[in-house]
Amino acid sequence: MFLTDIYLKNFKSHRESEIKPKRITILIGPNSSGKSSILQALLVLKESLNPKGSSRSAPITETESFDLGKYQDVVTNHKLDVPLAIGIMAQKLLPHGLEDQSSLLVKLAYNVEFINERVHFLHFGVESQEFKLSFQFRNNNSTVNATHSFSDVVIPLKDDPHLDGINPRILAQNTNELIGRNFNEYFSNGEFTKHLLDEFYYVPYNRTVTSYGVSLQRNTVRQLHSNPVTMMSFIISKLSKDPTMLDSVSSFINEISGKTIRTRIIDFTSTGDSGVTIDFTNKGISNSIINEGTGLNQLILLLATLTEAPKNAIIGIEEPELHLHPSAQSKLAKILMGIAKSHSKQIIFTTHSEHMLYPFLAEVTKGKQGLLSKDEIAIYYITQDSSGLSTIEHLPINEHGQIKGGLKGFWESDLEVFKQFTEKNE
């Protein structure tokens, strides 16, 4: 799936914000300006698409990665009666079901509005050359309004359409058996919307391994949406059982640091249980991950997620440059570009480092020989106004990798310090 729009209304400091992601989307700006909130909003939306049973046992703000608190903690100005909305637009290729095994491009729109945890309004729309669907739900009058149309043929709804959590269960009927089968396979019974953001993977800022080893997970079914501790335990266990994945991550580590990694089974003396650790090796000298520098330590979860996430995944990363030397940051930027291009992955990340930015801009200058064109990268500068609300400015890039108006927020303090230095030495 490829996100084309993200919309926030009354989510944390975002009164009303919108960005249009590209293949690579970079969010810059001062601390606490609202950059991370954009990634967190996608987690909240994903959580709302996976209800815990018919009646939710946890609020939408308790995501799989971390707990954002209560509704009043994330709604702007902490008012319970204020509607909070999160919306996305996306494109996705679906198997067409024809003999030629072709794919069908569909455009998707999903928007949910909450008031004090309850779904107040829901809109789901999908459009292709074959069919068009619009589904709306409002709970203020307990009515559901929905329409289907396939080309010029209007399709009646199944009686009493309802919601599973907030997922519409709608069954279409059509005289064209193939079109009807394709539609029902993907969009009936809430299955499509339930898994709409399963392709979104989040890499949190707290991703370092803080122990000598982790528990060995026997079941290595993908758990990349879990909390950081569970994610790390899963990732290291998966690396110990998947030589291809291990070699890939080790190759990236080697590009950045000149070191390689290998996993090692260990025993926890206190419990007698089996665990697994990671050793970093360089010139015959090995260090376990707990004794490795924080910069390389935190890269394991980041690089493993980038590797493990399937083709066409959407990956949100909090400050990939954490604890890395400037030259290592530049190398990591090139790895991100390569993964995005070779595996059609969409990457959205926050950063405070120009060393993460410049490699992307330099790649644009290569033209057709580069990994990215100017139309495949978007940079947004996010700050707060006098009332504490987020403002977002898109920074256009030309074919020479130049940012219109310059790179905001990076050089002002350096220039001030340089000015003071030169004035003192005159």
CA 409, 411, 414, 415 dihedral sign is: negative
Express each pLDDT in 326-342 by its tens digit: 999 999 999 999 999 99
- For residues 8 and 423, which has the higher predicted lDDT (pLDDT)? 8
Residue 23 and residue 363 in contact, taking contact as beta carbons nearer than 8 Å: no
Lowest-confidence region among 131-135, 164-168, 346-350: 164-168
- With b for 16 or more beta-carbon neighbours within 10 A and e for fewer, the 6-23 pattern comes to bbbbbbbbbbebebebbb
* DSSP annotation of 76: G
Place of tokens 């890039």: 397
Mean per-residue pLDDT of the chain: 80
What percentage of the chain carries pLDDT values higher than 70?
Answer: 73
| pLDDT at residue 71, rounded to an integer | 86
- What pLDDT, on a 0 to 100 scale, did the predictor assign at position 321? 95
- Assess whether pLDDT exceeds 80 at residue 184: no
Split at pLDDT 50, 70, 90, the class of 307 is very high
Q: Give strand pairing partners of 214.
A: 276
Distance CA 193, CA 135 (A): 12
Going by pLDDT thresholds of 50, 70 and 90, the confidence category of residue 150 is very low
Domain ranges of the chain: 209-307
Task: Tell me the chain's radius of gyration from C-alpha atoms.
Answer: 24
Q: How far apart are alpha carbons 136 and 232 in whole angstroms?
A: 39
* Band of pLDDT at residue 174, cut at 50, 70 and 90: very low
Q: Which residue has the tokens 């975002």?
A: 14
Contacts of 196 (CB under 8 A, 6+ apart): 1, 49, 108, 110
Output 241 or 130, whichever has higher pLDDT.
Answer: 241
Range scoring the smallest mean pLDDT among 17-31, 108-122, 138-152: 138-152
Q: What is the pTM of this model?
A: 0.87
For residue 126, the surrounding DSSP H or E stretch is strand 118-127
Which is more confidently placed, 228 or 320?
320
Judge whether 148 and 155 are in contact, CB under 8 Å: yes
Buried b (16+ CB within 10 A) or exposed e, 112-127: bbbbbbebbbbbbebe
Confidence of residue 300 (pLDDT cuts 50, 70, 90): very high
| pLDDT category of residue 352 using cuts at 50, 70 and 90 | very high
- Please determine, for residue 371, whether its predicted confidence score (pLDDT) is greater than 80: yes
